[in-house]
Structures are given as structure tokens and as C-alpha cells.
Chains A and B, each alone.
Chain A
Amino acid sequence: MGLLSKKDAALIKDPLADNNPITIQVLGICSALAITAELEASIVMSISVLFVLGVGNVVISLMRNIIPSKIRIIVQLIVVATLVIIVDLVLKAFAYELSKTLSVFVGLIITNCIIMGRFEAFALGNGPWRSFLDGIGNALGYAVILIIVGFFRELLGSGTLLGIPVLGDPIEKTGLYAFGYENNGFMLLSPMALIVVGIIIWVQRTRNKTLIED
């Protein structure tokens, strides 16, 4: 990336793998479990978080010198809440069906630990440009895991991807279903999302031994 200095590029690259907010810091698990049964919902959730975290980090960073530290959590909450409401209203206006699927979880972006975590840990102590990169990076790290989990859960659980049947028709018994294949109902339940996230963590730490804590 010629556009960014090495240090800035690391802000984006690190959260994608070796400092991933979900698999390494184990934050934001709640929404990762709840809405990943469909790939589309995962993608929309990822975009929402990308927006909230990117913009939120910049806003907090701009205000960092005027926020009294005693009430900084409240200020952060107001910023997130405002952004989340924007997202919620946009979804309701332009993707009503989807916003029904995501239901309460759009609102719960407010409580997503990744967002408050980045505000506290990064935006309060860094300039707006770097905060923006950090926000984008962490949101992308979150998105990568959400999309991987959503991909496998929808493919194995419903036999579709983005709502399009890819394994054949389970009722007409075409494609894979002709051989007796059946969708795995467990994949649609939240415990399986936890297990899939666990498997990702397992694979990641097997490939990079330095990530293993004692």
C-alpha cells in the first residue's frame, strides 16, 4: 500500500488476522452467534459495524481533547447510539425484510464490545486518520469472521448461499439431495456458530503458534 505508511497499514492488516477482534480478543461474540445463520445477514451486519466503527472512531477522536474523562463512557454511548439509529433507519427504509431478520441485533451494535473497546483503547488517544484506519481494520476483522461463519452455516444448514440454492432442491430431490443428503439443522442453531468460531480459532492458532497463550 503506497498510500499508507507501514505503521498505518498495520492498523488495517493486524485486526484481519493476528489481532482479530473475534478470534483473538474474543469480543463481539454475541452478534457473531446470533445473526450468522444466513450469509446475507452477516454481510449486512458487517457493513453496519464497518460504518458505525469507522465513523464513530473518527468522531470520538476529534472530540478526544474536549471529553471530560469522567463522563467519557456516556459520550461514547451517545455517539454509538446516534450512528446505530442511523443504520437502523436506513435498513428499515431500504431493506425492510432484512432489518426484520436482524431484528434487535442492529440495536445491539451499541453494546458490541468491539466498538466501545476501540473507542476506549484507540480513538481516545490517536488522531482522526489513524482512528479511522483502526476502525475500518477492526470492523473488517469482525466482518471476515462473520462472513466465514455465515458462509458455512448457510451452506450446510440450509443448502443455500445468499438465499440461492446451491446444493439442489431438498423437496424435489435434485443435486446432492438426490443422493440422500440432508441439511444439517444443527448448523442453524446458535451453539453451532460457537463451535464454528471455535474451529476458526483452532485453525488460526495451529497455523500461528505464537498466538497460543499458556
Chain B
Amino acid sequence: MGLKSSLHNFREKNKDKKWLPAFSAIHTFLFLPNETTHNGTHIKAADDLKRTMNIVIMAMVPCLLFGMFNAGYQHHLAFGEIQQATGGFFSSGFWTMDNFMVGFWKVIPLVIVSYGVGLAIEILFAMKNKHEVEEGYLVTGMLVPLIVPIDTPLWMLAVAVAFGVVIGKEVFGGTGMNILNPALTIRAFLFFAYPTWMSGDKVWVQGAVERDQLIAAGEKLDAISGETVLGSLAQNKGAGYEIMDMFNGFIPGSVGETSTILILLAGLFLIFTKIGSWRIMLSSVLGALAMGLIFNGVVSSGWITESSKFFGLMNTEFWHHLLIGGFAFGTVFMATDPVTASQTNKGKWIYGFLVGFISIMIRVFNPAYPEGVMLAILLMNVFAPTIDHYVVRGNVKKRMKRLKVKTA
């Protein structure tokens, strides 16, 4: 008897034990179960939910690895230990073991906490409600470490994950029933609860906060600034980085959000495997470009002067918005979440366009924190069912008209 069938027999034997969902969760994580997912609003094909999730996770792994290298790179660069990497994406100054290890030891705990707390809560609820542990958390658990600053204290992450999973998902009935994207709920919680750890010019570089505390305690060290591109634009200080650096991702930011090129590849991969919706991704990009163009138009027609606090961000060339901040990451991995996005094709166009449009709008006008992707997606999550409703109603109306013409 092989391992697979003996595990399966073990499961059959203990069918009514209370801890079975916990076992099944780990079991089905490694082996394909004999049955596939059979409910949830997001199931639109014969694919098992776990298959879907695994593909998304595969798409995220390059971003995660890049994030580790980048964390180390930003750390060493800010501390003046290495020179700026030159020579494009495969620059040898960037892909060093030294960089990787710094990031590795910071990112892996984030991943472990995110999965540990999230899965523990999922298992708890599964045991209480006597259903299988749902796979939804697999993607969320991977997304979370990618969208937080590298130095986020682990206990804060744990609190936020607990909040996000319980309030964002379980109270609505678990995977497939949630209104808001759980990963973004977690990030929004962190952002509103502990703003000093989620914004500013320190948190994006590993060690900068610690250095700041040492300086405050009286040690004579140079302060480190790890301002993000958006942060420095918002202060009218210019981008501070080359376009290629932004595209490659050699800039400070949340762990996995910086590398536009890898996110682009991941997006193509998701479109190719038909997991992510190309309609949402494309329309979101169009929406962002539209808003960017409007802002550029406002600047060039002279309505906004250089003294305005919005000048820096408004004057940013419209397509640069795609390369900086969390826009690319949010569009590819968050906006396309099949549970919380619109379901109808026309609805996806509207939903995606508004995500992009509002992202850039909030990014420019948000006085405290120059980024809006998270808030834009959460806002549109709320409106997605409404959009779907009207698309369906519109369709019904059109068909009714056709029916009348036919029968008349």
C-alpha cells in the first residue's frame, strides 16, 4: 500500500473525529484529494480550487525571492556597504548571496507568521463548524508578507492576520463568501492601527527604524532615509530613481511589490493559465493611465503651480504611475481575486477601470500616505456586486426588448 492510499484510509477511518479537518488540511495540501471543490461563488470551472491557488502561489514565488534580494540590497545600500547596482536586471551587484541572506531571515518569519496564524484560525473555524479547511488562505498567506514593509513587527502581523481572517472572511462564511479581499483587509488593518510602521521614510529599509531608535537614544550615527519613489514625489523632490530601476524593482517598498518586470511576467502567466482575468488587469492599467493623463493635463494647462503640494505627483509622467508603488502588484494579484472582483465580463471592465482610476486619484490626493491601490481595490470590492447587478439587469432588459421585437 502506497503512502497516498494509506493516508486516505487513515482519513476514512477517523471520519468523525473532531481533529479531522486539521489533518485533512495538511493532507490535501500535499496530495490531491479524491473529490474536488464543489461550492463557493468563485468556482466557475472544473478546476479544483487548490489547483487555482497553487498556480497563483507559483506566480508569486519570483516576487518573493526578488523581495528577499531587494530587502538585502536596500539594506546594504542604505547603510553604505555596497554601490548602486548597475547593468540592468541581471546586475551582479544585486543578485548576491549576501543580499539574499539578509532578506531571507527577515522575510521567512513574515511568511511563517502569516501562514501559522492564518491557518490556525482557519482550522479552528473548520473544527467548530465541522467542515473541511478551505484552501483560500493559501494565497492570502503568501500575499500578506509581500505587501507589508520588511521590518513589520511579527506580533503586529499576527494580530492583523487574526483580524483579517476572522472579520474579513470567517464572519461572512469563509472562503468564497468574503466581500473584501482578506490580504488587503489585513494590510488595511495594519495601516490604520499602526501607521508609524506602515508609512514614512524609515520602514521600507531593513534596519532603518532600529538605527533611528539608536540615534534617538543618543548614539552618533547617520540617519538613514529609505524614502519610496512615491514618498519623495509627494514631497516634490523628484523620483530619485532611474526608470529602469523602477521597472526592475531596485527601489524601496513593500517586500514583493517593487519589481514591475516580475509582476508583469506573473500577470502574463496568470492570464495564460486563465487564472487571472486579463480584462481586469488591462482595464485597470487603462484606468490608471487615464487618471495619469488627466493629472498631466491639469499640470500642463497651468491649473496647478509648482508650489502646490500635489505638483510632484501630478507632474509624474502618466505611465510612470504603473511602475511605482504597489500599483502593478495590486492590479495583478489583488484586483483579480475571483471572489471579490466582479464576475461578469462587462462588470470586470468597469471594475478594473475604476480600480486603476481611483488608485491614482487617491495616490495623488492622499495627504498622509501617497498610495491608493489598497484603498481603491477595497472600495471597488464593495461595489463589485452592485456593478454585476446592473450589468445583469442591463442584459435582461436588452433581451426582453429583443423578445418583444420578435413576438410583436
Contact = CB atoms under 8 A, between A and B. Distances in A.
A106 interface: no
Interface string A154-188: 00000000000000000000000000111011110
A202 B192 contact: no
B193 A202 contact: no
A195 B195 CA distance: 19
Interface string B205-217: 0000000000000
B194 A182 contact: yes
A182 B156 contact: yes
B303 interface: no
Secondary structure type dominating chain A contacts: helix
A189 interface: yes
A186 B167 contact: no
Given A195-B167, A202-B171, A187 B193 contact: yes
B171 A185 contact: no
Contact of A189 (B159, B171, B192): B192
A202 B166 CA distance: 12
A166 B181 CA distance: 35
Interface residues of A, number: 12
A185 B194 contact: yes
A184 B171 contact: no
B153 interface: yes
A185 B193 contact: yes
A184 B155 contact: no
B171 A186 contact: no
B189 A186 contact: yes
A138 B60 CA distance: 53
B194 A180 contact: no
Contacts of B155: 180-181
A181 B171 CA distance: 27
Interface string B184-197: 00000100111111
Interface in A49-69: none
24 contacts: A180-B153, A180-B155, A181-B155, A182-B156, A182-B194, A182-B196, A182-B197, A184-B159, A184-B193, A184-B194, A185-B192, A185-B193, A185-B194, A185-B195, A186-B189, A186-B192, A186-B193, A187-B193, A189-B192, A195-B167, A198-B167, A198-B171, A199-B167, A202-B171
Interface of B: 153, 155-156, 159, 167, 171, 189, 192-197
Interface of A: 180-182, 184-187, 189, 195, 198-199, 202
Given A180-B155, A182-B156, A186-B192, 20 more contacts: A180-B153, A181-B155, A182-B194, A182-B197, A184-B159, A184-B193, A184-B194, A185-B192, A185-B193, A185-B194, A185-B195, A186-B189, A186-B193, A187-B193, A189-B192, A195-B167, A198-B167, A198-B171, A199-B167, A202-B171
